[in-house]
């Protein structure tokens, strides 16, 4: 098939693009994101960005600027300063984030820092894990007869503790709930939801490594959450879904095609120490 040729916008030296890499499958990168990887001279990337995606930027230097719970953490202010420093060197800078930069990705903080420093920037949205990951698991977020609202929440605060949210309002406000970065707090989340009025028998889905070749989907109830999470390998990025649409997964999973796209790298990417 003969596709039309797309011409990307100017990626000027001295500017920063805040780019969403999607939930993991390289095929879920947007065209803007793929273009940015090909134009970048240096990429500051999250810890969870796969080597396959990074290999799409063979000419760029790579710096890891990740913040994984329980692992090495790069302070956000340092990342902001580094982006400004690199842009002022006249480089084309990509800040590459898993999912979407503005959905629990601190992209808003980085954009504010760049604007305050007078650095031109572009925000490239990505497919958020709460959308791409649940789709790959065969769980619709909404359904006309089962769920007409969905809410997204973080599983922990900036210190790693359970997020301080209005659990009663969250529980009542949406039929489907999606929690990001929640693996270490799954049992507590389930307990709070039950205390807020959700039924102990309500289904919960634990989606590990969403959209990747090693994706793992486990279904339990809120009452079974503590025992279910004990079987998840440590360090597995896990998305948590609660709600009635989980009941549709058995009807869809056997027929759903979910194999991720693969990337054939041209040359090895160049990694920098930062």
Say whether 203 sits in a helix, a strand or coil. Answer: strand
Told to judge if 56 belongs to the known catalytic residues of this protein, a careful annotator would answer no
Tell me the β-bridge partners of 195. Answer: none
Distance CA(12)–CA(176), nearest Å, equals 42
Token duo for residue 220: 């339990």
Q: What share of the chain is helix, strand, coil (3-state, %, to 5)?
A: 30, 20, 50
Told to judge if 181 belongs to the known catalytic residues of this protein, a careful annotator would answer yes
Question: With 0-12 CB in 10 A as exposed, 13-18 as middle and 19+ as buried, what is 221?
Answer: middle
Question: With 0-12 CB in 10 A as exposed, 13-18 as middle and 19+ as buried, what is 263?
Answer: middle
Count of beta carbons in the 10 Å neighbourhood of residue 164: 7
Of 2, 15, 23, the closest CA to residue 260 belongs to 23
Helical pair 107-116 and 76-88, crossing angle rounded to 10 deg: 50
Say whether 185 sits in a helix, a strand or coil. Answer: helix
Catalytic residue among 25, 56, 97, 181: 181
Dmax over Cα atoms in the chain, in whole Å? 57
Catalytic residue among 25, 46, 97, 100: 46
Told to judge if 67 belongs to the known catalytic residues of this protein, a careful annotator would answer yes
Beta strands in the chain (DSSP E): 16-20, 42-45, 61-64, 93-97, 121-124, 150-154, 176-180, 203-208, 216-221, 238-242, 270-271
Catalytic annotation, residues: 46, 67, 181
């Amino acid at each position: 098939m003969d596709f039309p040729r797309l011409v990307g916008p100017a990626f000027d030296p001295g500017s920063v693009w805040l780019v969403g890499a999607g939930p993991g499958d390289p095929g879920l990168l947007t065209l803007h994101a793929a273009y940015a990887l090909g134009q970048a001279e240096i990429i500051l990337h999250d810890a969870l960005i796969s080597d396959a995606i990074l290999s799409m930027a063979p000419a760029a230097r790579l710096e890891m600027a990740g913040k994984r719970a329980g692992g090495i953490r790069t302070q956000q202010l340092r990342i902001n300063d580094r982006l400004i420093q690199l842009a002022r060197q006249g480089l084309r800078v990509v800040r590459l984030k898993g999912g979407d930069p503005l959905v629990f990705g601190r992209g808003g903080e980085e954009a504010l820092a760049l604007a305050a420093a007078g650095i031109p920037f572009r925000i490239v949205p990505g497919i958020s894990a709460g959308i791409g990951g649940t789709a790959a698991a065969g769980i619709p977020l909404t359904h006309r007869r089962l769920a007409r609202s969905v809410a997204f929440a973080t599983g922990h605060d900036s210190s790693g503790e359970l997020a301080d949210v209005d659990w009663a309002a969250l529980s009542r406000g949406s039929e489907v709930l999606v929690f990001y970065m929640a693996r270490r707090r799954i049992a507590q989340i389930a307990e709070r939801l039950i205390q807020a009025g959700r039924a102990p028998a309500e289904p919960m889905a634990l989606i590990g490594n969403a959209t990747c070749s090693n994706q793992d989907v486990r279904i339990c109830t809120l009452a079974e959450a503590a025992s279910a999470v004990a079987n998840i390998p440590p360090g597995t990025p896990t998305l948590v879904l609660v709600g009635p649409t989980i009941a549709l997964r058995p009807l869809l999973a056997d027929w759903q095609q979910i194999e991720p796209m693969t990337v054939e790298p041209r040359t090895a990417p160049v990694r920098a120490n930062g």
